[in-house]
Structure formats: structure tokens, C-alpha cells
Amino acid sequence: MKNLILSIALCISAFTASAITPFLEFQPIQAGDDFTAFNFQGGIKGKVHPNIDLGAGIGITEKWNFDSSPLIPIFARGEFSGKLGSLSPFFSFDVGYELNTNDTDHGSVLVNPMVGLKFGSWYGGIGYLGHCWTQGHSHTTSCFNLKIGYNF
């Protein structure tokens, strides 16, 4: 137990000692059944290792024609980045929950792994967005998604 508490304290101190970087992202989503939506999200992340960032964020997802209630994704992010010659590839993994503003009993657990490239402060990637709906909507939906983002 002592080792676990010490490990958590070291991780927190490493995260707080590192530079905190805010990010902002735009994510168009095309799923089946004529569902086209957009997602704006932002958050913060910090380095815990030269190649590893941890962070958290929040966003809003809405259909293009604004005919439904928005979803509010709240997520944690892990990101691994490296250098491959002149390229800066990365792999990120978001996991969280999307609140349904119309019916709070029917949100979804979200999982979004992504691969992409960084171009200075800009980055872009393609991922796989999976939702496991809760309560009465107990099914899963998934789609490929594209993210375009900026690190401040």
C-alpha cells in the first residue's frame, strides 16, 4: 500500500512539475444511419516522460443540423509520441463518458484510439470512435473519425 501511495505521489509530482499544455480539437464524425456530427473539445495535458503525455478534456458533440440535444464528452487521454526521421508520429488513447443532455440516463462510455502526425503545434490523425451506450440504449456504435488539433 505504501508503494502504491508513493507511486501515485511521484506521478502527480511529475505531472505538476511538467509544462501543462492546453489543446483544442475539431472532429467531424460520420456514422451510419445518416448520422453526421461534429465535435469540438479541449483540455490540458502534461509530460510524464519525454515521449508520454497524460491529460483530460471536455467537449461538445452535435449533429450538423442541430436537430438533437448535444452530447458532452468528458475524457482522460494518454499520448505516446516519437520521432521517425523528419516525421513526428503519435498514438493517443481517449477513454471517458459522454453525457446525453436530453436524457441523462442514456449516455455512453467512449473509447477513441488514434494515430497521427504532428506539424509544429498542429496535429491531425485518424481514429476509431467506439460508444457503449448505457441503460435502455444498451448497444454499441462505432465509426472512424478524423481529428485536427492545436497545442497552445
Q: Report the alpha-carbon distance of residue 100 to residue 70 in Å, rounded.
A: 7
Q: What is the pTM of this model?
A: 0.80
Q: How far apart are CA 87 and CA 117, in angstroms?
A: 7
pLDDT in tens, the chain (152 residues): 566 565 555 555 555 555 789 999 998 876 666 667 788 999 999 999 999 999 999 999 887 666 667 889 999 999 999 998 888 999 999 999 988 888 766 778 889 999 999 999 999 999 988 877 676 655 677 788 899 999 99
What does the alpha-carbon distance between residue 141 and residue 147 come to, in Å, rounded to a whole number? 18
Task: Sketch out the chain's domains with CATH numbers.
Answer: 20-151 (2.40.160.20)
